[in-house]
């Protein structure tokens, strides 16, 4: 699976979504880096990576397209990317602290 911090959603091929029993929940418009837009079906899927597991929204793509781990899944799983060493790095989860 390719990790792409520029991709919002994780992308999985339709055949894998069928094998996993995922049910499409709707359609979203996505934009490519060259400005083109297309519509993709989306579903909720459990993703497990290095002992961490979360339910995230995935885009369902054609079988010829690569699997992509996108930014929302990386954030939900609390990973950042070390591009030099090509590894995922565990990170802390942050939250807003309101002050009076």
pLDDT digits (tens, 9 = 90+) for 40-93: 999 999 999 999 999 999 999 999 999 999 999 999 999 999 999 999 999 988
Minimal CA–CA distance to 10: which of 19, 54, 85, 37?
Answer: 54
Percent of the chain with pLDDT over 70: 100
- Is residue 100 predicted with pLDDT exceeding 80? no
pLDDT digits (tens, 9 = 90+) for 14-42: 999 999 999 999 999 999 999 999 999 99
Is-above-0.85 flag for pTM?
A: yes
Torsion of CA 72, 77, 80, 86, to 10 degrees: -100
Minimal CA–CA distance to 5: which of 80, 86, 57?
Answer: 80
Which alpha helices (DSSP H) does 4-84 contain, by range? Answer: 14-19, 71-76
CATH topology for 2-90 is Cathepsin D, subunit A; domain 1 (2.40.70)
The domain limits of the chain are 2-90
């Amino acid at each position: 699976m390719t990790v792409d911090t520029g991709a919002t959603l994780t992308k999985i091929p339709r055949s894998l979504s069928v094998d996993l029993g995922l049910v499409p929940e709707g359609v979203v418009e996505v934009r490519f880096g060259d400005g083109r837009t297309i519509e993709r079906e989306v579903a909720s899927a459990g993703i497990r990576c290095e002992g961490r597991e979360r339910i995230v929204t995935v885009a369902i793509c054609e079988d010829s397209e690569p699997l992509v781990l996108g930014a929302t899944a990386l954030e939900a799983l609390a990973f950042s990317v070390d591009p030099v060493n090509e590894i995922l790095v565990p990170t802390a989860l942050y939250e807003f602290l309101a002050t009076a």
